[in-house]
Structure 1
Amino acid sequence: MKQIQPHIIIEDDRKYVLGELKGNKISYDFERILNYLADKGQQEYGTLFKIHDQDRDILFKLCNYFIKDEANCVRLNMDLNKGILLSGPVGCGKTSLMKLLRLIVPHQKPYRIIPARNVVFGFNHLGYKTIEDYGDSHYVCFDDLGVEPLGRYYGKDCNVMGEIILSRYELFLNHKVKTHITTNLNAQELEERYGKRVRSRMRELFNLIAFETASKDKRR
């Protein structure tokens, strides 16, 4: 990916201008960002990918968060220091959006997207080193939190993702390291799965952005 300025993205023979530079500040255009996301989504997921009208409010929040529009984020009650917890029913587009949104800000520190179940599989193989490894300063998006099995290493059970969230909370407090999460679970289900302590930390770690429970499965 070739880049001239943060708001201008050049890929092969395509040029995407996501806004205008005014002084030393970028004024992003939401419609241009949506067009870019739609184009990139079709390149990544096929021609059936589209930006749905019912998702515009969700995307407006997410885009303002990623471009760090402080005024809009204050108005939308979002804290730019926190990560994103994106929740919603199966197939509503959480994972694909988190993969695409990082592309609109190529000048920012990127985050890796890691399925929560893969983390647990790693724990089952390597043990507690897996939890320690996610205590580093990398930005991470844990995908599909809540579908992973309980970890088990040498006969001992462990709620692996719960422990990792606690570890990431310490990173957030001490080093301002961000964590993002996608999940199909609601707040009550998260508390039932990971406990009150983890749920309490999650309130401090994340901006909660939720799709409507009636959002359709876009993979059908």
Structure 2
Amino acid sequence: MVNPSKIREGAVEYSLGNFDGKSVSYDFDKILIYLNVKGKLLFGKHFKIYEEDRDIIWKLANYFVKDYENCAKHKIDPDKGLLLSGPVGCGKTSLMKLLKYLVPHQRPYSVIPCRNIAFSFNHLGYKTIDDYGNSQSYCFDDLGVEPIGRHYGKDCNVMGEILLSRHELFLKHNIKTHATTNLNAQELENLYGVRVRSRMRQLFNLVAFDVGVKDKRK
């Protein structure tokens, strides 16, 4: 039987809590130990978990491990995707790349920069929108800062179209979509329109860093 409370990195096994054969009682301190180790493996020895980020990591960890009781306290629906928002350099992308490793038994997702998707549209046209409207799971990174797509002289709000496709996929097949963004709700609505913004509410849980969080790249 697979024990979801244990994760092996090389020769070392890390415990995330206790497994009784049916469910896991997760230990947040143990989760943080594992995330620190995995973060250094992914991003280099300078990676660390900041004390100021504990609360938001706690919310995100509860989401990923599907702790329904704690998710309910934070008004997070584990069946929807995540929209992680915050200022430039606060660590959104790193966390979305990192936290999926807490649940290797769950369906993985790929983290794709939105600007790369817009550039792909410029070369391939509407095939790009079809490609990202498929049944795979994605985290769209830096939503809202991508340029407008242009293919053979026709402009297209590429990510807006993809989000509409992902919304249909979510309703029909319960396939999640995640995203990170520097923008607030009004800025996203101004960029993608009321229709897309309305569907984003159904598609995503909004989890936000504090506005004053420091830029960790400095």
TM norm. shorter chain > 0.5 = yes
Number of the residue aligned with 2:156: 158
Letter in 2 for 1:6: P
Any idea what SS the aligned residue of 1:5 has? coil
Distance of 1:92 and 1:72 partners within structure 2: 24
- 1:84-123 pair list within 5 angstroms: 84-123=82-121
Distance of 1:40 and 1:217 partners within structure 2: 21
Number of the residue aligned with 1:212: 210
User: Which of the numbers 177, 180, 183 marks the counterpart of 2:181?
Assistant: 183
Give the unaligned 5+ runs of structure 1: none
Q: How far is 1:46 from its partner?
A: 2.2
Number of the residue aligned with 1:13: 11
**What are the superposed Cα offsets for residues 22-51 of structure 1, whole Å, 9 maximum, x if unpaired?**
241111111111111111112222222111
**What are the superposed Cα offsets for residues 42-72 of structure 1, whole Å, 9 maximum, x if unpaired?**
2222222111111111111100000001111
- 1:1-220 pair list within 5 angstroms: 5-220=3-218
Contact 2:17 2:27 in 1 (8 A): yes
Identical-residue share of aligned pairs (%): 64
Any idea what SS the aligned residue of 2:138 has? strand
Q: How far is 1:4 from its partner?
A: 5.0
Any idea what SS the aligned residue of 2:142 has? strand
Q: How far is 1:74 from its partner?
A: 1.2
Any idea what SS the aligned residue of 2:135 has? coil
Letter in 1 for 2:3: Q
Letter in 1 for 2:158: V
Any idea what SS the aligned residue of 2:90 has? coil
Q: For the aligned residues, what is the CA RMSD?
A: 1.2
Q: Which shows bigger deviation, 180-189 or 7-16? A: 7-16
Give the unaligned 5+ runs of structure 2: none
Distance of 2:116 and 2:5 partners within structure 1: 34
Letter in 2 for 1:167: S
Contact 2:82 2:206 in 1 (8 A): yes
Any idea what SS the aligned residue of 1:219 has? coil
Letter in 1 for 2:39: G
Distance of 2:130 and 2:42 partners within structure 1: 32
Contact 2:4 2:19 in 1 (8 A): no
Q: Which shows bigger deviation, 9-18 or 181-190? A: 9-18
Q: How far is 1:109 from its partner?
A: 0.4
Instruction: Count residues with an aligned counterpart.
Output: 218
Q: How far is 1:209 from its partner?
A: 0.3
Q: How far is 1:98 from its partner?
A: 0.4
Query: Moved runs in structure 1, 4+ residues, more than 6 A?
Result: none
